[in-house]
Structure 1
Amino acid sequence: RDFTVNAMAFDRRGHLYDPFGGRQDLAQRILRAVGDPDERFREDALRPFRACRFVAEYGFTVEEKTRAAAVRVHDRVAGLSVERIRDELERILVSPYPAKGFALLKEMGLLETRCRARTAGKDETVPVLPELARLHGLPQSPRYHTHDVWTHTMLVVEAIPAEITLRWAALLHDIAKGIPGVRNLNRRGEVCDYRHEQVGSVMAQEVLTRLRVGATSAQRIVWLIRHHMNFPPAREEKVLKWLRRLAAELKDREDLESAVAQLLILREADLRGGKVRPEERLAENDRLRILAAGLIRRLPFYQTDLALSGRTVAHYLGEGPQVKRALDELLRRVQDGNLPNEASALEDALRRMVRKNLG
């Protein structure tokens, strides 16, 4: 077995066998390798990652010799598959104490190791997560932030619901801060990271692809990161324009509704994770959430939401790109409040469009 707390067993009569003192370690919430920690970790280099996961899941403290041994098996990590390491990272992410788990990964140097990935039938070594390790101690402007980027990131991760897509987005949302071309000085001479959400979304895609995170989840995570800095004031006309832009990147009403809800959850966690005086923006975020949800329920954002089919439009206009243009125009009029989303009203408007074009 790997750790003393896992090396206990009951027999059929209920007698506990505990040859390595696991019961006492469990009571004291200590994680200790069975026997020689160097031997245990060289047997399976995933065990240091598992130690970090147990810390994140149960709040254990890792015994000093066990902790020190993890640093001496970095070379063995290269033999682990990227999928095994990703699974441990994701279990840490959705645990009750993810910040403790990631702090230990950073302390043990595990984020900066390399593991094995198989691509097109060939093995290669790829980095685990050095992009995250780089954030440790990275300063931010005290005008807007109360913590460095690492601490802020961990606070955001712990402030967001323990759902894997949201947790990945929280972990990677500021991944581009501090890199050349992003880190700069503003007019007041303070550090700033303009467009970090755009560059960060590209970096996040690279990380998620490398770690073999599922394509559907990765697409949403990257989308959340790309949009996490751009929000309208909670006024209907501004929110409608914002939703129109977002809808163009999403497939349907259900996708829009869930994506916007997740985006505003990420924003709330971001604000709670050490922003200076966040109260006003938190209240604005609540108003924005209510207003956006109401607009999505009330208005069509996709042609398929209209009470008039493309087939009906094609009956008047013939097949071709003019059908999409007509539906887009009808959609805009309904969103602007100039036309009810009713089949008869939409068909009347379509007839007027046809007569106008003929005239």
Structure 2
Amino acid sequence: MNFELTPEQRELKEWAHTFAEKEIRPVAAYYDEHEEMPWDVLKKAAKVGLLSYTIPEEYGGNGVPDLISSLVVGEELFWGCAGIATAIGGIGLASIPILEMGSEEQKKKWLPLFCDPDQVRLGAMCLTEPGAGSDVVSMTTRAVRQGDEYVINGTKTFITNGGIADVYVVFAKTNPEAGYAGVSAFIVDGKTPGISSGKKFKKLGLRASHTAEVRFDDVHVPVENRLGEENMAFLGAMKMLEHSRPTVAIAAVGVARAAYEYALSYAKERVQFGKPIYYNQAISFTLTDMLTKIEAGRLLAYRAAWLADEGKSCNMEGSMAKAFCGDMAMEVATNAVQILGGYGYMRDYPVEKWLRDAKIMSIYEGTTQIQKRVMTRMM
């Protein structure tokens, strides 16, 4: 076992941390307060290659060498701001299924769009529906083949970059009677007639990212835009989610680390009863528990990513990491608010934002309860 980052990974960490510290942290409160897309930050991220760091070099991206390296970058971005990091990562939500399920021709056509340093192009993955979250069988969006096209009808919800994306990857039923074996996936140009934005959601956290419904009304998509074989997209979606769970886990680590570091600094400076509150055992022991769980969460995420990089299944380990880190981030952020006391409850201090941002970590990409269901089946 080797617990050291490679020299290249250390450079990636410094690269992402510097961007988060200089470009994300100073504006995080503004975008959270105004619930706006951070276009200026996205433009700067495009210039330095942070919008395409997960896309291989042969398609124009920065091509980080493995999933662990991607996690190293992701932790720093979420340390900066979870909402802005989600807006940045939204590009990957479309590129990942194309990388996982697409043909070489599809990859060469679509992935370079996300890699232009002079233009921000957004991606979106459309899987969740108003009546179908983790229960994919309940999906009602249909894709009906008509000659050399498919016609898509349905509504997707809770979609990052929904309604404003340049490229969508849409999951729809092509054989409704076949359950899991009747789902297909399609690359859809965002300018295709029939795509419209529904309700834009006002969220508890992640306010700097755009989340909305997307409606597909008689949207015509060429057959060559189908990802993989017809009716086979469910397996691709599950593989994609398996690899995304360590990414969400490390996002939770980034948020938790931000809250912990602030609480630690505050505890060393806040004087009560003649000494910094850090020297009260109730405070210092809480901080040690916070740090221990952050480190444990990072190791769980790294192990799942290592398995994926080795070409092995990380289904169990990814679910462990995601479930643990999602709950851990909420616990750490709550403790950070408690350490600051009344100040922690006020919006003048950033810990209340980290608490709001932390909650989503145990919900999206499969709730903690869904992860435990996955683990139960694996056991």
TM-based fold match above 0.5: no
Q: When the two structures are superposed, what TM-score results if normalisation uses the length of structure 2?
A: 0.27
> Which structure's residues are more often strand, by fraction?
2
Q: Which has the larger radius of gyration?
A: 1
Higher relative contact order (CA 8 A, sep 6+): 2
